[in-house]
Structure 1
Amino acid sequence: MERKKRVLLAVSGGIAAFKAAALTSKLVQAGYEVKVLMTPHAQEFVTPLTFQALSRDHVYTDTFTEPDPAGIAHIDVADWADLIFVAPASANIIGKLANGIADDMVTTTLLAATAPVYIAPAMNVHMYAHPAVLRNMQQLEKDGYYFVEPDEGYLACGYTGKGRMAEPEDLLAMVNYHFTKQSHPEWHGKKVLVTAGPTQEVLDPVRFLSNRSSGKMGFAIAGEAAARGADVTLIAGPVSLPDPHGVRRINVQSAEDMYNAVMSEAERMDIIIKAAAVSDYTPAETTAHKVKKSDRPLSIEMERTKDILQELGSRKKDQVLVGFAAETQDIARYAEEKLNKKNADMICANSVIEAGSGFQGDTNALTLFFKALPPQEIPLTSKTKAAELILDAAAGLTGKTK
């Protein structure tokens, strides 16, 4: 069996050290082998025992503590790592690394390391903008280090601004991105368009017509495609999901908005995956004021929205076009009809009334339909895993479309 990927986490002094503990837990849960280094200042915020319990491994805190007489700890752990993450990275540790100073376990190990190093800064907004800090970061970038920009928001010092360390979920995404990109060279440079979520068709200033789509499937596909090294554009309806790492996101509201956004991007794409649940109908008229209730029944005249998948199918040349079919009955018949009528290369069909595969959940079960290949079943699994299998199938169609 292939061994687990090895992540070395270097923790420096700062209140964001508690996020490093959460990151350690998430890395272990994601299947990585994790070792932790701590500076003396980091130990003022979180104890080594915390990281030991979360990583299930020895925590390295002192260059001169050598638990194994057969080796030199800071050299051995540097050679052990496949990837190194410095999180949080204080202004102090950034300055030391930029100037080659090695005076503790973290800095001596990093100077001996040959693995890629990612740095997640965390500090006061004015410190982050200080010329010396900027100069040190620029030097580290020249030296081949990678940076994960801090977020903007409320800081522990009381200021609001840029300097808050990226969230553990974002850092985990960076780690996944690093390793996934290495194992999928066929996706490098591919231009991928993904649509996700519902659309909202406005009736009046208070009400709109929509559907139950959460956008989770489309977002999982976009995130996985980006992790494989593709250039991904995600066109998303109204959902409250965070941006997948490395994805360019365009937000839309209505079916007409979705149509316009997709058509403006489609021509330059290599692969288009239309996972959005676009409304088939929209109110023929939108009122400027709230429709008041009455004792009489209310009738709303509806008109057909533009069929985005069919338009893409009529325009496509050598692109791979993937559509989705959310059905309640006769799934195979409807999916195959859609495949041919819309000139798609693959239709991902699922039953929205089957337990675990409907809207808004974190799992899905699908059948993939192709023009010249037998259907492929994806048994009930996480939407993340389903996204991987969908992209594997889409990659197999590259160069085989008409």
Structure 2
Amino acid sequence: MVLGVSGGIAAYKACELLRRLTESGHDVTPVPTAAALEFVGAPTWSALSGKPVSAEVWDAVHEVPHVRLGQEADLVVVAPATADLLAKAAHGLADDLLTNTLLTARCPVVFAPAMHTEMWEHPATVANVALLRERGVVVLDPASGRLTGADTGRGRLPEPAQIFEVCTAVLARSGVRDLVGRRVVVSAGGTREYLDPVRFLGNRSSGLQGFALASAAAARGAEVVLVAANATLADPVGVEVIRVETTAQLREAVLAASVDADAVVMAAAPADYRPTSVSESKIKKADDGSAPSLELTQNPDILRELARERRTEGQVIVGFAAETGDATGDVLSLARAKLARKGCDLLVVNDVSGGAVFGSDENEAVLLDADGHATEVPRASKGVLAHAIWDAVGTRFISDLG
């Protein structure tokens, strides 16, 4: 793997990315630009990678590094990628070791931009990013936050942990970008239905699986909208995130976002019921030990509504079923009944007996499709399951084209 570092103040964060990559077993060659070495010196990159570091094409010429590095790499990631570096990459300029490496690379390439907001929004940068993405390059959207000096806005380098996750996902898919040109909507988290300004009815959904689905789709080239209900996780890189609280807000946001979507994955856990009335002030505890009565009404069935009223032709609808089994049937039989009742194309079935899955970084599931087929996904990271789900969605896209 090649880690390119261009000349921005965020270059120091690439040290953390390099540490994560090497500690996960990757063989990483840092290739900083001359400007990057003004921020972080060559001894630091050498110490972290265990390799000699240079920005020049003239060093170790007998090894032809300006060609060899790109030819041999399984992945090239540039973090930070400045506006200047993006412009050079888009137009094939090669005046140092990093830009030569980019020009010879035939592997997946990931850019993590970092620059001031005005630079990111400049028409030249917008055009350069669009051109790179058209070529299949992964260009992440920068984060919003504190920039150099007192400035704040979009242009901050995504956190190293997030860039690492994208690199891992891209490598795992061997550069597959099968969702390029697709627009997908993912929901995540658990909704809250308020009893008063303090208390609410909720559930244990953390949003981890939905966020993993959004990240995986973005890594595969999709335009992604993530509707997140009460999740405390950081926004996935390259994903538009809409934050909501209640089931009504979730429904409104998902329906609006799905108007022109190719697929909608309802990984969120909407509350089935809500109070018929909400107290404007905190409900006080009674001195006599009595408890207030609670009258509930059923919330709209968002998944069923999406399946019945497809917003675009061929739109793929995916639901989730968190089941425990009961006297009426086991987990799979209950899930099959739910699939028929909801009318979606795919149903991801989780056995949550004993609280399994919630808050865990791992998951296992059975994917049921409308034709009755069941595919088991063994226990693995939620990212692995996310890609399995998108594989199944992709199959539906191919079937529709056929």
Same-fold call, TM cutoff 0.5? yes
Q: CA deviation at 1:360?
A: 1.4
Partner of 1:3: none
Provide the C-alpha distance between the structure 1 equivalents of 2:254 and 2:229, rounded to a whole number of angstroms: 12
Q: CA deviation at 1:15?
A: 4.5
Partner of 1:27: 21
Q: CA deviation at 1:328?
A: 2.0
Partner of 1:366: 365
Partner SS, residue 260 of structure 2? coil
Contact 2:273/2:297 (<8 A) preserved: yes
**Relative to structure 1, is the Cα distance of residues 24 and 373 closer, same or farther in structure 2, using a 3 angstrom cutoff?**
same
Partner SS, residue 261 of structure 1? helix
Q: CA deviation at 1:263?
A: 2.8
Provide the C-alpha distance between the structure 2 equivalents of 1:368 and 1:142, rounded to a whole number of angstroms: 35
**Relative to structure 1, is the Cα distance of residues 232 and 30 closer, same or farther in structure 2, using a 3 angstrom cutoff?**
farther
Over the aligned positions, Cα root-mean-square deviation in angstroms equals 3.8
Decide which structure has the larger Cα Rg and report it: 1
Query: Structure 2, unaligned stretches of length 5 or more?
Result: none
Provide the C-alpha distance between the structure 1 equivalents of 2:337 and 2:126, rounded to a whole number of angstroms: 56
Partner SS, residue 353 of structure 2? coil
Q: TM-score, structure 2 length as denominator?
A: 0.79
Residue 386 (1) aligns with residue 385 (2): yes
2:176 corresponds to which of 176, 183, 195: 183
Q: CA deviation at 1:302?
A: 0.8
Q: TM-score, structure 1 length as denominator?
A: 0.79
Provide the C-alpha distance between the structure 2 equivalents of 1:100 and 1:398, rounded to a whole number of angstroms: 37
**Relative to structure 1, is the Cα distance of residues 105 and 270 closer, same or farther in structure 2, using a 3 angstrom cutoff?**
closer
**Relative to structure 1, is the Cα distance of residues 343 and 144 closer, same or farther in structure 2, using a 3 angstrom cutoff?**
closer
Provide the C-alpha distance between the structure 1 equivalents of 2:229 and 2:72, rounded to a whole number of angstroms: 44
Provide the C-alpha distance between the structure 2 equivalents of 1:377 and 1:368, rounded to a whole number of angstroms: 6
Contact 1:181/1:228 (<8 A) preserved: no
Residue 324 (1) aligns with residue 316 (2): no
* Further displaced range: 274-283 or 200-209: 200-209
Percent identity of equivalent pairs: 36
Q: CA deviation at 1:319?
A: 3.2
Q: CA deviation at 1:216?
A: 0.9
Partner SS, residue 337 of structure 1? helix
**Relative to structure 1, is the Cα distance of residues 236 and 42 closer, same or farther in structure 2, using a 3 angstrom cutoff?**
closer
Q: CA deviation at 1:352?
A: 1.8
Provide the C-alpha distance between the structure 2 equivalents of 1:377 and 1:167, rounded to a whole number of angstroms: 33
Residue 346 (1) aligns with residue 346 (2): yes
Provide the C-alpha distance between the structure 1 equivalents of 2:375 and 2:94, rounded to a whole number of angstroms: 56
Map 1:7-18 to 2 at 5 A: 8-12=2-6, 15-18=9-12
Q: CA deviation at 1:292?
A: 1.3
Partner of 2:295: 301
Letter in 2 for 1:343: G
Query: Structure 1, unaligned stretches of length 5 or more?
Result: 1-5
Residue 223 (1) aligns with residue 207 (2): no
Letter in 2 for 1:59: V
Partner of 1:252: 244
Contact 2:22/2:49 (<8 A) preserved: yes
